Amino acid sequence: MTWIKICGTTNLGDAQLAIDAGADAVGFIFAKSRRHIEPQAARAITDALPEHVEKIGVFVDERPERVREIVAQAGLTGVDLHGEEDESTRNLLHSAPVEGRRIRIFKTLHMQEPKEMEFAHTRILAGLYDALLLDSGSHEQRGGTGKTFDWDATEKLIRLISVTARVIFAGGLTPQNVSQAITRFKPWGVDVVSGVEAEPGRKDPEKVRAFIAAVRAAEASLGTAGGR
């Protein structure tokens, strides 16, 4: 099944809502954001969640040592590097696992600026990271735009990236358009924030349930069982 992450989690109730609805992962934003959460507050949430649920931290150009420190403090199982990070964070987490855990590491590609992206470079990234997250952010605004990137203009690049990498689709996804993303691109995973919120940092229960139901319905229509 398609891997589903509900990101921008700021409280235990929203995390439990996402899990009960069928999400595979919840995300916590440690970068500057209206959905920012402190590591200790995140830990109070992650400690209360089932072990099988992935807890992913979002970082933007944070020092590798600080990323590792927050991973330990917050009880994370994975990170999404959303800025201009090189491989140093990945190398540190791989060489020094946190509490003996292998940490999943995702790298975000900002699809608002596809002309800056060379396919050869994405092939290198595919070999370094567990998945590549395609988002609608830019240098000015890294994420949380609430807008989709141009699926038509980037379709060829997306299909090329998907040959060598697990792809996580993000950027402006909603219960209304996520099925189209899945049937058109068949990503390994999907990631949503604003599309399931009542307001920044607080989830809308009906939107969360509708989003996950739309993902599963799209899978059923394709007869696929990818992801995870």
The reported pTM is 0.92
The predicted pLDDT at position 98 comes to 87
Q: What is the mean pLDDT of residues 153-167?
A: 92
Span 24-59, pLDDT tens digits: 999 999 999 999 999 999 999 999 999 999 999 999
Average pLDDT (146-154) is 88
Question: Averaging pLDDT over each range in 89-98, 104-113, 181-190, which range is the top one?
Answer: 181-190
Tell the CATH topology of 3-222: TIM Barrel (3.20.20)
Rounded-to-integer distance, Cα 215 and Cα 182, Å: 7
Q: 80 catalytic, yes or no?
A: no
Q: What is the pLDDT of residue 212?
A: 98
Question: Residue 75: which of 140, 149, 148, 12 has the closest Cα?
Answer: 12
pLDDT above 70 covers what percent of the chain?
Answer: 90
Q: In this predicted model, which residue has the larger pLDDT, 141 or 148?
A: 148
14, 24, 130, 135: the catalytic one is 135
Statement: residue 148 has pLDDT above 60: yes
In the predicted structure, residue 142 carries a pLDDT above the cut 70: no
204 included as an active-site residue: no
pLDDT higher than threshold 60 for residue 196: yes
Checking if the pLDDT of 85 tops 90, the result is yes
Give mean pLDDT, residues 199-216: 97
Q: Chain-wide mean pLDDT for the chain?
A: 91
Q: Which of 7, 24, 80, 130 is catalytic?
A: 7
Average pLDDT over residues 181-201: 96
Residue 11 has a CB neighbour count (10 Å cut-off) of 15
Q: What is the pLDDT of residues 99-130, one digit of tens each?
A: 888 999 999 998 866 555 566 778 889 999 99
Amino acid 140: pLDDT: 54
CA distance 45 to 73: 12
Domain boundaries, given as residue ranges, for the chain: 3-222
Which residue has 């998907």 as its token pair?
162
**Residue 120: what pLDDT?**
73
